[in-house]
Amino acid sequence: MKRGASTVMMTILAIFLTAAVVHCSRDRNGPASPAAKALPGNEIELTHTVLMTGLKNPWDLAFTPDGAMLFTEKCRGLSVRLADGTARRLFGTNGSAVVADDFFCQGQSGMCGVAVDPDFADNRFLYVYMASRLDKPAGNRVVRLVVDEGYRTVTDRRDIVTGISFKNSATLWGRAGAHSGGRLRFNPDNGFLHITTGDNHEGPLPQDLSRLGGKVLRVDRHGRAAPGNNTPSGGDQRIFTYGHRNVQGIAFRPGSGQSFACEHGPGHSDEVTPLVAGGNGGWDPQPIAGVSCAGKYCGYTSNKPDGTPTSMTDLARFPDAMRPSWDNKGESEGMGDCVFLSGEHWQAWDGRLAVAFLRGSRIDLLQLNPAGKTVAAGPMAGLPSERIRSLVQGPDGALYVATDGGEIWRIATSRK
């Protein structure tokens, strides 16, 4: 990898007792600059490389075992970048190998999450989360595809989860297509697909166990409910957890395999929450008796007679709700994706949870104790300030990042 024009010396993050050096480059640019001198002590040297530019709202990434990188663009569809840098559009709008006539994008919705089957080498299964007009009215769904060995096209479409809630019209609170969630991740520990959804600015939805919005779903590769979801009696058995606002990140802690959801707050309290099967996230933006909210959605006001903002985790009403590991209290900065950094090459950051922010335009690193509570947090400093949409650790151990502005980055340590 070439090292490019700028080198940024990071400040010491006292909270981590670490410091780092970031080498920023665009991989087609040269000449290389001299490596910055590493700081003494518990240091981490990072290289930041821009792999792709000019994309249209890239939303998610996934890698196959042979090193191909799949990526989605919200209003275009699914593409692949091969190891030699060749990119091809596989599935979506005109210009794709397979055009999906039912696919559309609106507001925050479109072609969102992408995941690769744990047994991809045998079955060539890919999965995308997309807005579709096959639902009446339009909805979100999870579509499974088979990609050929040359990554030239996809076949055998099967829609494994359909009818995921979608906001079909604008309201006082925002445009159509808002709060669709959309992340797809397989938990490597149990092989089940996790699907994150959103509340659509619809007050009753997160606590409604008959519908799929404001939830984390957990299913097998055919879309059937995973065993052990522990869904409350009478609820849709695909629901793993409920009472969420807009989950756009889900990560699995190495070692324990525990799921952590990362979700947007409503002007306060973005939350990272360790999940338990059948758990309630404690978000209920419908008005309580005696309260009135426009469109029956109290997500930005108060659902209580005392006027206090609707809580992201209402322990007064849901004392058994899942407690967040971390929240940013008075702020909401558009928390997006999250992933655990894993591997000795990450040095002091091995095992830390990287959390992406959109409005906050950065990546934070959370240090968790064995119980999953956050004991320290701070930014991954020295990176460009961009709205961060997706975080994935690649098969090479590097952190891959999609920015809302249209870039895909590779962030690696000097050891890998």
Applying CB under 5 A, the residues found at the interface with Ca ion are 281-282, 312-313
We find the least distance from the C-beta atom of residue 297 to Ca ion, in angstroms, to be 17
Distances (CA, A) of 67 to 326, 397, 408: 33, 12, 15
According to DSSP, the residues that pair with 365 across neighbouring strands are 354, 378
**Cβ proximity to Ca ion, 312 vs 399, nearer residue:** 312
Question: Minimum distance between the CB of residue 266 and Ca ion, rounded to whole angstroms?
Answer: 11
Nearer to Ca ion, 93 or 311 (CB): 311
Q: Minimal distance in Å, beta carbon 321 to Ca ion? A: 6
Q: How far apart are CA 188 and CA 258, in angstroms?
A: 10
Tokens linked to 389: 């949409």
288 vs 278: CA distance, rounded Å: 23
What is the identity of the amino acid at 198?
A: G
Q: Which is closer to Ca ion, CB of 13 or CB of 195?
A: 195
Return the number of the residue (130 or 335) whose C-beta is nearest Ca ion.
335
Q: Terminal CA-to-CA distance of the chain, rounded, Å?
A: 11
State the minimum distance, in angstroms, from the CB of residue 285 to Ca ion.
11
CB 43 within 8 A of CB 19: yes
For residues 266 and 281, which CB has a smaller minimum distance to Ca ion in the complex?
281
**Which of 143/322 has CB closer to Ca ion?**
322
Name the minimum Å distance from CB 353 to Ca ion: 16
Instruction: Provide DSSP, 149-194.
Output: TTSS-EEEEEEEEEEE----S-BTTB-TT------EEE-TTT--EE
**Is the N-terminal amide bond of 31 cis, ω within 30° of 0?**
yes
- The CB-of-280 to Ca ion minimum distance in angstroms stands at 8
**C-alpha of 400 from chain center:** 13
